[in-house]
Amino acid sequence: MITIQGKGVSKGIAKGKLYFYRRPDTEIVKQTVSDLDAEKARLAEAQAASIAQLEALAEKCRAEASEDTVVLFETHAMFVEDEDFVECITSVMEDENCNAEYAVREAGEQFAAMLAAMDDPYMQARAADIRDVAGRILNNLMGIVPGGIDSEEPVILAADDLAPSETLQLDKSKILAFATQGGSGNSHTAILARTMGIPALCGAGATLEEAHSGRLCYIDGETGVLYIEPDALTLAAMNEKYEQQQEMKKLLETMIGQEDITLDGRKMMLYCNIGSPEDVAAVHLNDGQGIGLFRSEFLYLSASDYPTEDEQFEAYRTVAQAMKGKRVVIRTLDIGADKQVDYFEMQKEENPAMGLRAIRICLNRPEVFRTQLRALYRASAYGKVAIMFPMITSVWEVRECKRACQKVMAELKAEGIPFNAETEIGIMIETPSAVLIADALAKEVDFFSVGTNDLTQYTLACDRQANDLGKFFDPHHPAVLRALKMATDAAHAAGIWIGICGELGADLEMLPTFLAIGIDELSVSPAAVLPLRAAIRQSIAKTCTLEKLGC
């Protein structure tokens, strides 16, 4: 047995074979070929495989009644065989006597550039589709497995580290758990694992070697231990712990349908954090009463080009409708720092956590912002959508965001497109600056949501990504908790509600402090809802104290 100790970042026990993630090597090299006919046959095979994949995807969406996405995949399948596109590929191959990969990439780029240069916005948006189609044919030519996991059965996925964009593109149905050499519990990959409700550990270091691939493992996401080929004693202990967890799960299920209220009648809104429409199933399963944070940037991270207004609208509408009138807070694009998106072509920054990220990018790129706001307002006609802006530091930023919203609403009105003009607007409180001017900010918006992950990072000057800062990264620090209290007092003085959507919200030990501070809402990963509900229902709010604030 080999025991590897990391840091547990998502609870649960999983058993399966270890699979080491390999990054697809997408560098395309031009090669001269001796047998052009054989190369054309390879191309035809890749086209056929692409069409089969797209038809299967369309079929899956049809079963899920997602008609717009069915049309999207059907259109992509047509693109694969488009006469002009195929002719362009073959003429590159013939003219340059080159490999199919190079020709597909060249033809894809030529077509995308041609579409992007058109006046018609609809045709411009098709550039992304052609790039997507070319990418799919390329994957099939190069034998890159969609989802990156070349295994029939689900696996425990190991990696050096995983960027959020990589995690999102993995085939989730094949993942039992994550184990990474690097990373931190506050990284977005760890957050994604918690949202997906699967065990995960990070910071395992070099002992987590690729040579262990294929061996049977147990992972304990609570203690952060990975056992490779466990001995009989460990096996028995793991099985027992698994059984206990299953029993606890059953016990917690009795909380489904119960109100989120303390013994002395204080109500708490208990919402969920999600990253995609697929996560709504887990929200329902765990009886979340709304969505307090939809990290919309995950839509951008999982795409190979800017998601169009229609694609975004479809995602937001799906969530709004599925939540049946319950509040759905959708955060506008929050990329930058660890969430890098290639097609944004951002300049490399020395210190990206303090650089151009989140709302700063949106305010600098009004077209990107406008597209998202149009999609959000269009979705507001289908449910109780609220819009939230991340990384706010100044009042002028909020005013500029609100002006952008007004402009979009005026456009939609002129176009006769329905939207809810009363859509709530909120901001994230995740910088010390926002806390210090919370009184002024509260006059501008309908709600606050505290991002304790970033608030801890910026208040304590501790990189949330670093896994070796240990006890220095302390969300329980009195400075963070006092910031929470200041923001809450400012919100309540202005008559608006305040929640927590950072990871601290799920910390059961902190619940009495949140009740004492007067927090109105907690938004947590779906699996954290029922344990919190059980704790809320056993609490007496008026006996909770501010002791942890050190005052």
Q: Is 451 in the site for ligand PEP (CB under 6 A)?
A: yes
Least distance from ligand PEP to the Cβ atom of residue 21, Å:
23
From CA 157, how far away is CA 154, in angstroms rounded?
9
Residue with tokens 């560098």: 27
Tokens standing for residue 108: 């894809």
**How many C-beta neighbours within 10 Å does residue 81 have?**
12
Least distance from ligand PEP to the Cβ atom of residue 205, Å:
24
Strand partners, 270: 522
Q: What is the rounded end-to-end Cα distance, in angstroms, of the chain?
A: 49
Tokens standing for residue 341: 């998106």
Q: Is 452 in the site for ligand PEP (CB under 6 A)?
A: yes
Least distance from ligand PEP to the Cβ atom of residue 490, Å:
18
Span from 121-129, 404-412, 447-455, 525-533 in contact with Mg ion (CB under 5 A)? 447-455
Q: Is 426 in the site for Mg ion (CB under 5 A)?
A: no
Cβ closer to Mg ion: 129 or 430? 430
- The site string for ligand PEP over 454-493 (x = CB under 6 A, - otherwise) reads x---------------------------------------
- The site string for Mg ion over 44-83 (x = CB under 5 A, - otherwise) reads ----------------------------------------
**How many C-beta neighbours within 10 Å does residue 231 have?**
10
Q: Is 352 in the site for ligand PEP (CB under 6 A)?
A: no
From CA 385, how far away is CA 420, in angstroms rounded?
9
How many Cα atoms within 13 Å fall on the side-chain side of residue 55?
8
Cβ closer to Mg ion: 287 or 334? 334
Span from 37-45, 151-159, 321-329, 449-457 in contact with ligand PEP (CB under 6 A)? 449-457
477 in catalytic set: no
For 128, counting Cβ atoms within 10 Å of its Cβ (0-12 exposed, 13-18 middle, 19+ buried), the class is buried
Tokens standing for residue 405: 């919203």
Residues 265-324 that bind ligand PEP (CB under 6 A): 293, 295
Nearest to 8 by CA among 193, 156, 170, 164: 193
Tokens standing for residue 525: 């990963």
Strand partners, 267: 261
Contacts 24+ apart (CB under 8 A), 244-249: 245/12, 245/13
Span from 1-9, 361-369, 447-455, 510-518 in contact with ligand PEP (CB under 6 A)? 447-455
Span from 15-23, 139-147, 149-157, 424-432 in contact with Mg ion (CB under 5 A)? 424-432
DSSP annotation of 351 reads S
Cβ closer to Mg ion: 456 or 488? 456
Q: Is 444 in the site for Mg ion (CB under 5 A)?
A: no
371 binds, among ligand PEP, Mg ion, none (CB under 5 to 8 A by kind): none
- The site string for ligand PEP over 410-439 (x = CB under 6 A, - otherwise) reads --------------------x---------
Total of chain residues touching ligand PEP, rule CB under 6 A: 10
501 binds, among ligand PEP, Mg ion, none (CB under 5 to 8 A by kind): ligand PEP
Single residue of 453, 513, 525, 539 touching ligand PEP by CB under 6 A: 453
Tokens standing for residue 214: 């294929």
Least distance from ligand PEP to the Cβ atom of residue 318, Å:
21
From CA 319, how far away is CA 328, in angstroms rounded?
8
Total of chain residues touching Mg ion, rule CB under 5 A: 3
Q: Which of 76, 188, 212, 477 is catalytic?
A: 188
Cβ closer to ligand PEP: 135 or 185? 185
Residues 129-168 that bind ligand PEP (CB under 6 A): none
Q: Is 194 in the site for ligand PEP (CB under 6 A)?
A: no
Single residue of 451, 475, 499, 526 touching Mg ion by CB under 5 A: 451
The single-letter code of the amino acid at 118 is M
For 264, counting Cβ atoms within 10 Å of its Cβ (0-12 exposed, 13-18 middle, 19+ buried), the class is exposed
φ, ψ for residue 178, nearest 5 deg: -115, 145
Q: Is 501 in the site for ligand PEP (CB under 6 A)?
A: yes
Question: Could you tell me if 415 and 467 are in contact, meaning their C-beta atoms sit under 8 angstroms apart?
Answer: no
Strands 225-228 and 2-5 turn out to be antiparallel
Rounded alpha-carbon distances, angstroms, from residue 298 to 278, 295, 452: 12, 6, 19
Least distance from Mg ion to the Cβ atom of residue 164, Å:
12
Least distance from Mg ion to the Cβ atom of residue 428, Å:
6
From CA 258, how far away is CA 78, in angstroms rounded?
50
Q: Which residues contact 385 (CB under 8 A, 6 or more apart)?
A: 316, 320, 328, 330, 376, 379, 420, 423
From CA 471, how far away is CA 3, in angstroms rounded?
24
501 in catalytic set: yes
Cβ closer to ligand PEP: 101 or 454? 454
Span from 188-196, 228-236, 309-317, 426-434 in contact with Mg ion (CB under 5 A)? 426-434
Question: Could you tell me if 487 and 499 are in contact, meaning their C-beta atoms sit under 8 angstroms apart?
Answer: no
From CA 149, how far away is CA 292, in angstroms rounded?
32
295 binds, among ligand PEP, Mg ion, none (CB under 5 to 8 A by kind): ligand PEP
217 binds, among ligand PEP, Mg ion, none (CB under 5 to 8 A by kind): none
452 binds, among Mg ion, ligand PEP, none (CB under 5 to 8 A by kind): ligand PEP
For 455, counting Cβ atoms within 10 Å of its Cβ (0-12 exposed, 13-18 middle, 19+ buried), the class is buried
Cβ closer to Mg ion: 193 or 337? 337
Least distance from ligand PEP to the Cβ atom of residue 271, Å:
12
Nearest to 290 by CA among 192, 195, 385, 191: 385
Binding site for Mg ion (CB under 5 A): 430, 451, 454
Binding site for ligand PEP (CB under 6 A): 293, 295, 334, 430, 451-454, 501-502
Q: Which residues are catalytic?
A: 188, 501
